[in-house]
Structure 1
Amino acid sequence: MAGALVGGALLSGFINVVFDRFITTDAVNLILGKKLGPELVERLKISLLAAEALVGDAEFKQLDNPSVREWLNSLRDAVYVADDLLDAVLTKAATRKEVRSFWPISFLDRDRKIVDKMEGVVRRIEFLVKQKDLLGLEKSSYRDFLSWRIPSTSLVEGNILGREKDQQEIIKILNDNREHQLSVIPIVGIGGVGKTTLAQWLYNNEKLMEGFQVKKWVCVSEDFNVIQVTKNIIGQTAGNTEDFNSLQLELKEKLFEKKFFIVLDDVWSDDGDVWKKFRTPFQYGIKGSTILVTTRVKEVASVVQTCPPYILSELSEDCCWSVFANNVCFPESNGHPKLEEIGRKIVKKCKGLPLAAETLGSLLRTKHDVKEWEAVLHCSLLETSMVDLKSLVMQ
């Protein structure tokens, strides 16, 4: 049972890992577009996102429905093949040093085979997505345990284990920029490393937030819709207008001669022109006004920053164990020596990602059987889903 549960949860995370390959660098997008064709790459993106949205619901329904379990297995196999093919494309590009050059118009036979295989994979994933009505699958509003795209709020619970130094560094950056008219501070790190949690801690620190007259938390995600983001900052007074100029004027009035602290969480767009237009009203605040941006894409930081970005690294293994132990209630309810031995092996596979340690700790909190813990440890998806994301999104 534990293996089935974690399998479904981590499949969502692995799909996100594969999808993240598309937002690495412009060079990678150039390679994939020229190698596989832009239309095929876009279809793969869309089909992956559509499938990932169904995994949460399928995870629960598979326990009583063999057809859903088979659907999950088929999806897992298709995503594995897609990942292998992407690896093949990028490896060949690195070998031929074609990252900095254009691909030949005609493909070699082996290149055509990769394209044909990817076409088959995309069709397979598209077919599986179309089976959702037949199987009664719905988009999950809950988003799976390890979904690194879950929209966040400004709320955070308790202390942040293992992040004491990072907290002090962020405080220093904030204090060092108090005399600046507007500071844009990016926190950059891979998915699941704790960027949002650190931003939440700062946002809810009453002592540090003293003097800020306007505070707002906005989850941006993949689509940086400047009209919607501006509306969210303004609040209910924005009404239903879609006129960007009117919204900017209203935002200017809201921020005029006030000290503000705005968090833009999970920003992906590195479009400099869009950012330049968006930030215009923020110039009318007073000294010490701050925009805090969390992002996993370093190009975003280079576009928005007014000071060097803060790079948030993975936790040490000891700190990662503390996060896991805290969530699994160790040793209060799970103090068996054998469980600790297995738990520490599980933590090694978390690769320093606190979200992974927290997720798996919560999953195992009510499990006291050694076999259940071993099922999680030996789950093939656990090994694959905790790959080194840094090599995918931070290169």
Structure 2
Amino acid sequence: MWLDDLQDLAYDVEDILDEYATQVLERELMTKQSTNRIADYFSSWTPSALISQADMKSKTEEITRRLEDLCEEKNDLTLKEIAGGSSTVTWQRPPSTCVPTEPAVIGRDADKAKILEMVLCNKQSGGSFHVIPIVGLGGVGKTTLAREVYNDKAVADFNPRAWTCVSDDFDVLRISKAIFESITASTCTLTNLNEVQVQLKNKITGKKFLLILDDVWSKDYDLWEALKSPLLAGAPGSKIIVTTHSKDVASTVELEACYNLGLLPEDVCWAYLRSM
């Protein structure tokens, strides 16, 4: 809410600056058109212009007051500023893992059952594997749901299983190495994409695998094609679960359907709060 208020203030500042720039431009044009520039400049200061100046002053004072209020709220909320300039450091969400982060998951039993049903069915797409996109708002629980499915005993027959956090940097080499390392539990020192994907293909050829690609942002179909090429060597029935906030991403990796993960019901949210 504080950021929304700050954004609204920024928009209002832009409006005032645009209005001021327009007034300056108008006066410059009037001055250039006059044979007596000085006389015409002073003649432009009509009562309406004076009123406009007073109105501008009132607006800037209001902007200043709102900015001071936001600064006070920032301090009350203990918000921290990020250093500006070329050394700006932006916060990034830590990479996700397959290791559970909570003792229990509330309110997602039905969603988990549906995803497990999709994972265990024999449907295939894109060759030997089937892609299951889980789409939902940030923080709604996509990663948690994928983790619950990944660690369920019902998927024990999938071998190998691999978990990779993709995030916004869809680097095919990095992701391919991460998948290889997740499968082999060893470090991959290769730096050539072809060599990495050849080794990855060898590790999964003829095997029924389960792969989680968490937090995918890229809608680039060519990058997706490059990433999935060694995965085509897997056995029929292999599954890839992709979590993403974007339906466009889901359409890139799977054209037929995706699983839309909704918000938790209100009664479940209250039950969770009461249990804390």
Please say whether Structure 1 and Structure 2 have the same fold, judged by a TM-score greater than 0.5: yes
Q: What is the letter of the counterpart of residue 202 of structure 2?
A: E
Q: CA deviation at 1:158?
A: 3.8
Would the alpha carbon gap of residues 131 and 251 (structure 1) be closer, same or farther in structure 2, given more than 3 Å must change?
closer
Please say if residues 183 and 307 of structure 1, whose CA atoms lie closer than 8 Å, have aligned partners that are also in contact. no
Q: What SS class does the counterpart of residue 129 from structure 1 fall into?
A: coil
Q: What is the letter of the counterpart of residue 230 of structure 2?
A: P
1:130 aligns with 2:55: no
Q: What SS class does the counterpart of residue 318 from structure 1 fall into?
A: helix
1:276 aligns with 2:218: no
Deviations 1:293-340 (A, max 9, x none): 0011111100001541100000111011122222x2xxxxxxxxxxxx
Find the aligned partners of 1:199 and 1:290 in 2 and give their Cα distance.
12
Q: CA deviation at 1:288?
A: 1.0
Deviations 1:106-134 (A, max 9, x none): xx945989xxxxxxx9xxxxxx53379xx
1:170 aligns with 2:95: no
Q: Residue 179 of structure 2 corresponds to which residue in structure 1?
A: 233
Find the aligned partners of 1:262 and 1:229 in 2 and give their Cα distance.
12
1:238-253 equivalences in 2 (<5 Å): 239-253=188-202
Count how many residue pairs are aligned between Structure 1 and Structure 2: 209
Q: What is the letter of the counterpart of residue 143 of structure 2?
A: T
Would the alpha carbon gap of residues 244 and 160 (structure 1) be closer, same or farther in structure 2, given more than 3 Å must change?
same
1:300-315 equivalences in 2 (<5 Å): 300-305=249-254, 307-315=256-264
Find the aligned partners of 1:165 and 1:293 in 2 and give their Cα distance.
19
Deviations 1:327-383 (A, max 9, x none): x2xxxxxxxxxxxxxxxxxxxxxxxxxxxxxxxxxxxxxxxxxxxxxxxxxxxxxxx
What RMSD in Å do the two structures reach over aligned CA positions?
3.4
1:321-336 equivalences in 2 (<5 Å): 321-326=270-275, 328=276
Q: Gaps spanning 5+ residues in structure 2: where?
A: 23-66, 68-80
Match of 1:220 among 127, 152, 166: 166
Q: What SS class does the counterpart of residue 130 from structure 1 fall into?
A: coil
Q: What is the letter of the counterpart of residue 82 of structure 1?
A: Q
Higher-Rg structure is 2
Find the aligned partners of 2:104 and 2:131 in 1 and give their Cα distance.
25
Identify the structure with the greater helix proportion: 1
Q: What SS class does the counterpart of residue 292 from structure 1 fall into?
A: strand
Find the aligned partners of 2:188 and 2:177 in 1 and give their Cα distance.
8
Would the alpha carbon gap of residues 205 and 323 (structure 1) be closer, same or farther in structure 2, given more than 3 Å must change?
same
Find the aligned partners of 1:186 and 1:238 in 2 and give their Cα distance.
28
Please say if residues 130 and 237 of structure 2, whose CA atoms lie closer than 8 Å, have aligned partners that are also in contact. yes
Q: List structure 1 segments (4+ residues) > 6 angstroms apart after TM superposition.
A: 86-89
Match of 1:204 among 151, 171, 189: 151
Q: CA deviation at 1:165?
A: 1.4
Please say if residues 208 and 236 of structure 2, whose CA atoms lie closer than 8 Å, have aligned partners that are also in contact. yes
Find the aligned partners of 1:112 and 1:299 in 2 and give their Cα distance.
40
Q: Gaps spanning 5+ residues in structure 1: where?
A: 1-13, 15-75, 90-107, 114-120, 122-127, 133-138, 329-395
Would the alpha carbon gap of residues 84 and 305 (structure 1) be closer, same or farther in structure 2, given more than 3 Å must change?
farther
1:188 aligns with 2:113: no
Q: What SS class does the counterpart of residue 241 from structure 1 fall into?
A: coil
Find the aligned partners of 2:13 and 2:274 in 1 and give their Cα distance.
38
Please say if residues 184 and 306 of structure 1, whose CA atoms lie closer than 8 Å, have aligned partners that are also in contact. no
